[in-house]
Structure 1
């Protein structure tokens, strides 16, 4: 795998590829949404409007399968944003990649040295490959943002905060009571379950998209003979990217439902 274009800014390591891809993903989602509602028509809706209406109905279907739609309508915008952002983000790394090769240290971006190709990075590479004369470090500038653990876990963290904030504010008594049911001794287990839900929510997305891009990199390294396999895998990756966007959104609505619905009332 290639290195990330990291610069140190104010004591923080900033991955420029992730920042770039998050901006690109957001712009694509915004443009698609804007185009879909630009010329709304009841009698003669355009293709994008039809797609948007289908997407809204699809998200409403996800929500209605997890909670009362009267309560869930407030989360349609959230669901649409999540599923579109993750779907677009998952697919960005499939069409092509942008990689630059560096044979010496000292390269800068915005006046800041690229940490991943500094003198220490080349020294470490030389220690690993002492017999090679011409050492190069590849830096990837274009990839799926969800193929980075920090992005996937960041998305999961946002949902984690939203879910538990909703639980504490909209269903306070039942929310806190659920941690001690059916017996108070289960409280540590409920905490572990809560943390594991957060962890698996993000890592599932990251693992699937990252693994797909790793295999694409391997196939690209095999040359012309790998083109049929590459095309087949890219088609399969579109399917995987779509499924992962659906799964992430579905789990989000399941967690919200568990937080805001008083399930104890259902047993009365």
Structure 2
């Protein structure tokens, strides 16, 4: 059973790395790749098994992307779908008592949030040019301070929301395993099922917020 919040730190080239977080991140990535391989192996016109499950997720997310961002959303659809699958797997890894979710480390959630924000500004400049910079000074120029604070807050709130919920879930699971006798598994099973639900919801919320932020940069204002 791992210790929540305790990370093995390795120093390399003058930099420190949380080795457990890196290992769990690579594990989550490997699981996503394996799921994608299983889903695309021997594709059928009438899907079944893994293909059916993944197609349902992709179709559902594509509908959300189309509704939120519009036709330009197809550019970032692969990123958002992969982000959701990675977060889902990462959140669920920590439900195994001997493992830890990569997302219970603030370094992971903050890194993902910063990636989304960098994409937001790059795509905003690409699609809207000077108008994208101009919107920071609206409705009047002094509002640039408030708008900049809001931009700084976006990655912080994204990162801490996911990190806090996943960390709290793992802590409660470990506490239940320590307090509940082995002959009374019902509370643990109920909490485990609830944690599966929370992990999926948190992956969805992070993805939808990312989608919403990107929509502000990519949507065609003349058409929407």
Q: Distance in 2 between matches of 1:56 and 1:88?
A: 15
Matching residue of 1:24: 27
Q: Distance in 2 between matches of 1:179 and 1:90?
A: 35
- Deviation of 1:170 (Å): 1.8
Matching residue of 2:139: 182
- Deviation of 1:65 (Å): 2.7
- Deviation of 1:266 (Å): 5.9
Matching residue of 1:195: 152
- Output aligned runs, 1:39-58, within 5 Å: 39-42=42-45, 44-58=46-60
- Unmatched 5+ residue regions in structure 2? none
The question of whether the paired residues in 1 share the 8 Å contact of 2:69 and 2:215 is answered with yes
TM-score of the superposed pair, with normalisation by structure 2: 0.92
Count of aligned residue pairs for this structure pair: 220
- Between structures 1 and 2, the one with greater helix share: 2
Matching residue of 2:73: 72
Aligned counterpart in structure 2 of residue 170 of structure 1, from 124, 127, 133? 127
Matching of residue 151 in structure 1 with residue 153 in structure 2 = no
Q: Aligned to 1:41, what secondary structure does the other structure show?
A: coil
The question of whether the paired residues in 1 share the 8 Å contact of 2:88 and 2:200 is answered with yes
Q: Aligned to 1:213, what secondary structure does the other structure show?
A: helix
Matching of residue 38 in structure 1 with residue 45 in structure 2 = no
Matching of residue 12 in structure 1 with residue 15 in structure 2 = yes
- Deviation of 1:262 (Å): 4.5
Matching of residue 244 in structure 1 with residue 202 in structure 2 = yes
The question of whether the paired residues in 2 share the 8 Å contact of 1:26 and 1:85 is answered with yes
Matching of residue 232 in structure 1 with residue 190 in structure 2 = yes
Q: Distance in 2 between matches of 1:54 and 1:228?
A: 31
The question of whether the paired residues in 1 share the 8 Å contact of 2:7 and 2:20 is answered with yes
Deviates more, 1:46-55 or 1:247-256: 46-55
Q: Distance in 2 between matches of 1:152 and 1:212?
A: 16
Q: Distance in 2 between matches of 1:223 and 1:242?
A: 25
Q: Distance in 1 between matches of 2:24 and 2:223?
A: 44
The question of whether the paired residues in 2 share the 8 Å contact of 1:175 and 1:260 is answered with no
Q: Aligned to 1:39, what secondary structure does the other structure show?
A: coil
Bigger-Rg structure (1/2): 1
CA-atom RMSD in angstroms: 1.6
Q: Distance in 1 between matches of 2:21 and 2:96?
A: 17
- Unmatched 5+ residue regions in structure 1? 98-141
Q: Distance in 1 between matches of 2:185 and 2:176?
A: 8
Matching of residue 256 in structure 1 with residue 189 in structure 2 = no
Q: Distance in 2 between matches of 1:82 and 1:32?
A: 14
